[in-house]
């Protein structure tokens, strides 16, 4: 079996009965939806036309939410339904980032995710989902796509059907008949100044005022000849679309400052371990050991902060150990958790070897920990790549950029340590200064490429534009580029103690600002 839906937009009248029935069936809280009706409008009064589209989970054959979920709370049943088990959910919100269709929400009461599950409990006893039952126009058609005798199979074979975002490769199983392009592509119908019965303005959008009456207050379609009515419809269909009703959830900022901070703290911990193998012969053996132990202690502190931030960002933090004890191995959130765990154990073992004077063990562990540090820095790129709803994060530059950021952060902290815990040789200090200048220069170059280079999709371009306009431009230009890179590079050329301390601190601040800007920019594009 392979269950799916057909939404017949030719029949949908926008009555919202499906939304109400879904809320009643599942006790869905106000403010979130499993099913909702999006309304777009084209034309100017009186030559206007409205289009209604039912939005919901697409029960994808290759569902990214299932792949990214770290604890198998989301899973694909044998009958093709993508179902959800709230008893397993840890509230990490990764599924929200993975879904390109904005179909998943966090229940404000339980702190676990929720979405359309095809009313599997009804299907199992031979009943149709309530949204199908209450639709007065039979605009929602469910059924087994693999059974050629079902109505849905006939429609998919006979009619010209459309799916949302086929380019994502998710193989969605919600098919639309007679859907207008602008109703299925979020960027094609931006939010207008007003909704149907209320105002709903996005930042930077000027409220739209109703056009003045043209003397045909009775409505063109009611009194005009058929020829004029047909012309009016054609005019409306060709006009730009605007979104005038959308009860869906936009999830702009589901991953907030805690995720940005976690990227920053783990880059410092990882970067310090990348630098550590090169601390040899900088001063006396005893002082080199002191530098290594200081760097290890700082790395462990930032690694602990990383864990605290990750747990604090969960909606169900009491379940955080389930990522380790109930892993879903395809998720890079799970893989990342194990990388962090082994990295922490390696750093702890290295500290023990250093304290015990076990030189041979230290020589082995120092390189093993450096490799784990590189994995710690880079694994988030693969997690972001699994977030198929966020086009900006699909950048092929991301693994390299994360590694460079970790290197810059590690060198910046090590430079602060080397200056604060003298003495080291002038050659070693010069090496650190050169490394930091180069790392910050490459970081800024990659950051500007992420935002200003040509992007493969419109959504990625829109997200990048958000990051480089308005108040964010000042964060990028003055915070990331000038304060976080140009100023430290210039200060390091002075090479006195005060300038070096200032350069290291400014470099770290610039890296933190970039992390937050990048994480937020990726989430600023509407998905429904």
| pLDDT tens digits, 124-182 | 999 999 999 999 999 999 999 999 999 999 999 999 999 999 999 999 999 999 999 99
Confidence at residue 501, expressed as pLDDT on a 0 to 100 scale: 94
Confidence at residue 192, expressed as pLDDT on a 0 to 100 scale: 61
Reported pTM: 0.90
SS3 227: helix
DSSP code per residue over 26-50: HTPPTT--SSEEEEEEEEETTEEEE
Confidence at residue 250, expressed as pLDDT on a 0 to 100 scale: 63
Q: Residue 96: which of 386, 466, 322 has the closest Cα?
A: 386
Confidence at residue 212, expressed as pLDDT on a 0 to 100 scale: 44
> Quick one: angle between helices 285-313 and 332-356, nearest 10?
150
DSSP code per residue over 111-140: SSEE---TTHHHHTTT---HHHHH-TT--E
Confidence at residue 225, expressed as pLDDT on a 0 to 100 scale: 45
Confidence at residue 448, expressed as pLDDT on a 0 to 100 scale: 97
Q: From residue 451, how far is each of 398, 409, 517 by CA, in Å?
A: 12, 21, 11
User: What is the average pLDDT value for the chain, to the nearest integer?
Assistant: 90
pLDDT in tens, 472-520: 999 999 999 999 999 999 999 987 889 999 999 999 999 999 999 999 9
Residues of the chain with CATH 1.20.1630.10: 257-522
Q: For the domain covering 3-190, report its CATH number.
A: 3.30.70.20
* Angle at the Cα of 381 from the Cα atoms of 417 and 528, rounded to 5 degrees: 130
Query: Any idea which residue has 């194990």 for tokens?
Result: 338
Fold of the 257-522 domain: Formate dehydrogenase/DMSO reductase fold (1.20.1630)
Confidence at residue 238, expressed as pLDDT on a 0 to 100 scale: 60
User: Which stretches of the chain score pLDDT less than 70?
Assistant: 192-239, 248-250
SS3 186: helix
Confidence at residue 234, expressed as pLDDT on a 0 to 100 scale: 54
SS3 328: coil
Phi-psi region of 390 (alpha: psi -120 to 50; beta: other; left: phi over 0): beta
Confidence at residue 209, expressed as pLDDT on a 0 to 100 scale: 44
Confidence at residue 94, expressed as pLDDT on a 0 to 100 scale: 97
Confidence at residue 211, expressed as pLDDT on a 0 to 100 scale: 44
Hey, how many other C-beta atoms are within 10 angstroms of the C-beta on 355? 12
Helix (H) or strand (E) holding 177: strand 174-177
Contact call for residues 103 and 57 (beta carbons, < 8 A)? yes
SS3 420: helix
Residues of the chain with CATH 3.30.70.20: 3-190
């Amino acid at each position: 079996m392979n269950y799916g839906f057909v939404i017949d937009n030719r029949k949908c009248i926008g009555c919202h009965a499906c939304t109400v029935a879904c809320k009643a069936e599942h006790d869905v809280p106000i403010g979130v939806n499993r099913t909702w009706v999006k309304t777009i409008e084209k034309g100017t009064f009186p030559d206007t036309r409205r289009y209604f589209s039912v939005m919901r989970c697409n029960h994808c054959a290759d569902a990214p939410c299932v792949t990214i979920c770290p604890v198998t709370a989301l899973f694909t049943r044998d009958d093709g339904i993508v179902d959800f088990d709230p008893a397993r959910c840890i509230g990490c919100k990764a599924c929200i980032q993975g879904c390109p269709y904005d179909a998943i929400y966090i229940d404000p009461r339980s702190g676990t995710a929720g979405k359309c599950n095809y009313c599997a409990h009804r299907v199992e006893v031979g009943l149709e989902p309530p949204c199908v039952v209450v639709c007065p126009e039979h605009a929602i058609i469910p059924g087994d796509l693999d059974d050629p005798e079902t109505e849905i199979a006939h429609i998919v074979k006979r009619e010209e059907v459309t799916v949302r975002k086929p380019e994502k490769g998710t193989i969605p199983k919600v098919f639309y008949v007679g859907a207008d392009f602008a109703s299925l592509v979020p960027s094609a119908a931006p939010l207008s100044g007003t909704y149907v019965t209320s105002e709903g303005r996005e930042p930077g959008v000027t409220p739209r005022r109703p056009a003045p009456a043209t003397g045909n207050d009775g409505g063109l379609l009611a009194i005009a000849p058929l020829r004029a009515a047909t012309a009016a419809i054609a005019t409306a269909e060709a006009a730009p679309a605007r979104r005038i009703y959308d009860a869906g959830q936009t999830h702009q900022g589901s991953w907030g400052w805690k995720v940005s901070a976690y990227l920053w703290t783990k880059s410092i911990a990882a970067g310090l371990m990348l630098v550590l193998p090169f601390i040899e012969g900088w001063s006396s053996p005893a002082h080199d050991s002191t530098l290594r132990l200081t760097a290890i202690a700082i790395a462990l502190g930032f690694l602990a902060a990383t864990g605290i931030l990750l747990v604090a960002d969960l909606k169900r933090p009491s379940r955080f150990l389930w990522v380790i004890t109930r892993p879903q191995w395809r998720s890079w959130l799970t893989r990342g958790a194990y990388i962090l765990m082994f990295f922490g154990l390696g750093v702890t073992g290295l500290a023990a070897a250093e304290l015990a004077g076990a030189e041979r063990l230290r020589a082995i562990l120092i390189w093993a920990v450096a490799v784990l540090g590189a994995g710690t820095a880079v694994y988030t790129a693969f997690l972001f790549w699994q977030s198929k709803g966020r086009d900006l994060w699909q950048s092929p530059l991301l693994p390299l950029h994360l590694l460079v950021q970790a290197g810059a952060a590690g060198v910046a902290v090590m430079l602060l340590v080397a200056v604060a815990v003298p003495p080291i040789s002038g050659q070693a200090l010069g090496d650190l200064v050169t490394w930091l200048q180069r790392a910050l220069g490459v970081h800024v170059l990659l950051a500007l490429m992420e935002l200003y280079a040509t992007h493969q999709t419109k959504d990625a371009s829109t997200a990048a534009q958000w990051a480089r306009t308005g108040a964010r431009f000042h964060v990028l230009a003055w915070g990331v580029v000038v304060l976080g890179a140009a100023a430290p590079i210039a200060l390091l050329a002075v090479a006195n103690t005060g300038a070096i301390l200032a350069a290291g601190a400014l470099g770290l601040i610039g890296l933190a600002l970039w992390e937050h800007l990048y994480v937020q920019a990726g989430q600023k594009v509407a998905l429904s």
